[in-house]
Amino acid sequence: MPQASEIVRPKRIAECPAQMEAELAGDYEMYQDINAKGFIALEVKVLRIHVEENIRMAGHKNRIDPDLWYHMIMCFQELYGLNPRKVAASELAQFMKSTDHFPIRMYAMMQHG
């Protein structure tokens, strides 16, 4: 669910207990040596951080207690929590399976010539 940001125009995700508002500091083209277009790395400057009180480390204003925050992690295009099973379906994984996507082709070329 969208939640208003305080500094930047894009909205935050209300369900996420830790959120960052940021601005673009730079963008960098990748894979220039093999003439691949459309792949960029983004550098952002964090302007404001929002953290729910229930995941803050006791006695610390600027620390998150890792024992209290059960976040999701993307691993090989799938979403996992702090257990060995997937916690949600990954749209990225479905996209990667359904297209002839550049990084997969590049990896195969590097492995098999």
- The verdict on 3 and 57 lying in the same domain is yes
Residues 57 and 101 in one domain: no
47 and 81 together in one domain: no
Are 2 and 52 members of one domain?
yes
CB of 17 closer than 8 Å to CB of 55: yes
How are beta strands 73-75 and 78-80 bridged, if at all? antiparallel
List the one residue out of 77, 70, 67, 74 whose CA is nearest residue 98. Answer: 77
pLDDT at 112: 44
pLDDT of residue 6: 96
Structural tokens at position 12: 């935050």
Instruction: Give, for all 113 residues of the chain, the pLDDT tens digit.
Output: 889 999 999 999 888 889 999 999 999 998 888 877 788 999 999 999 999 999 999 998 888 888 888 777 777 777 777 665 666 666 666 655 555 555 544 444 444 44
Token duo for residue 3? 């939640």
pLDDT of residue 43: 97
**Could you tell me the residue range of the domain that residue 45 belongs to?**
1-69
Residue type, 56: R
- Split into its structural domains, the chain has a count of 2
Q: What pLDDT was estimated at residue 107? A: 46
Q: Are residues 84 and 61 in the same domain?
A: no
